[in-house]
Amino acid sequence: MADHGPTPEQSPASARTPFTADAAAPGAPTVPVPVVQRLDLADLFDALRRGWADFKAVPSHAILLCVIYPLLGLALARIVMGYAVLPMLFPLASGFALIGPFAALGLYELSRRRELGQTASAWDAAAVLRSPSLGAMLTLGALLLVIFIGWLASAQAIYVATFGNAPAAAIPDFATQVLTTRAGWQLIVIGCSVGFLFAAASLCLSLVSFPLLLDRQIGVVEAISTSLRVTARNPLTIAAWGAIVAALLILGSLPLFLGLTVVLPLLGHATWHLYRKAVVPNPSPPRIRPSRRARRSAADFPSVLLDRKRGD
């Protein structure tokens, strides 16, 4: 029988095609692997500048989304002092940096809509709850919560190893013990070193993961992998970003965590713009359905509720 040549399924070209991470199962849509880019210090400051512009454009919404943080900080401080576990106050406050990327999901959505020229309002921030990647976001958020709990357990163990199980004294005496004794200096050095490891792990895992999940329909493993690749390609720049975040959070914690109402929205918006610089844009971005709800002023509340009932 004559040989009619290879069939399309058996063509030499297809036979030589190697398997790559982009390959998909038969019948499944092909999801391109996110491409990461190089960053420099100018990109970090530009992301902060753009984040500040977003914050100024929707300041009331951003503060409403993040005001829970200073309130939570005050509540935690009261609980800590009330239960005589004062040494845990600093670990609890610094732990905001570990879970902050998850809490900033609504801010990423506001920045994304402003970037696309869409109306950005508090209603739009809630659109993350309808994201196809919500399950992956919750999974990654749970991972950050585990890291946060691990940090608290480690901080407690470090305190017990240096000061023993005796309850801490009042704030002035406790500060004197920490700053002027050998055990206190050991607590500072060991605690900051271990805290740095937890913070570095959280930063590497979540640097662009949450914005990427919001922007594309990918899995949590792919999002974490992309974040790790961005970190590996830009180690010094990401280290500088971590230092900037830490410095701003320290400033925002003074006085009484009230500064976080500005710092947290700023960092949330800036993280979205840093993601845009670190990852090549999605070639097939999803469409955003414009909101049918007219934009209202805060001065319209609560009359807007009556208008909505009449409209229904």
* Tens-digit pLDDT profile for residues 6-47: 444 343 333 333 333 333 344 444 567 899 999 999 999 999
Cα gap 50→229, rounded to integer Å: 24
Q: Is residue 135 part of a domain?
A: yes
Residue 238 lies in a domain: yes
In a domain, 244, yes or no: yes
Residue 302 lies in a domain: no
User: Is residue 293 situated within a structural domain?
Assistant: no
The more confident residue out of 83 and 132 is 132
Q: Let me know if residue 292 belongs to a domain.
A: no
**What backbone phi and psi angles, to 5 degrees, belong to 278?**
-85, -25
| Long-range contacts of the stretch 288-291 (C-beta < 8 A, 24+) | 288/113, 288/116, 288/118, 290/118, 290/119, 291/119, 291/121, 291/123, 291/124
Give CA torsion, residues 202, 204, 207, 208, to 10 deg: -120
Residue 12 lies in a domain: no
pLDDT in tens, 154-196: 998 998 888 887 666 666 777 788 888 888 899 899 999 999 9
User: What is the rounded average pLDDT of the residues 115-134?
Assistant: 81
Domain count of the fold of the chain = 1
Tell me, yes or no, whether 11 lies in a domain: no
Domain that holds residue 105: 35-287
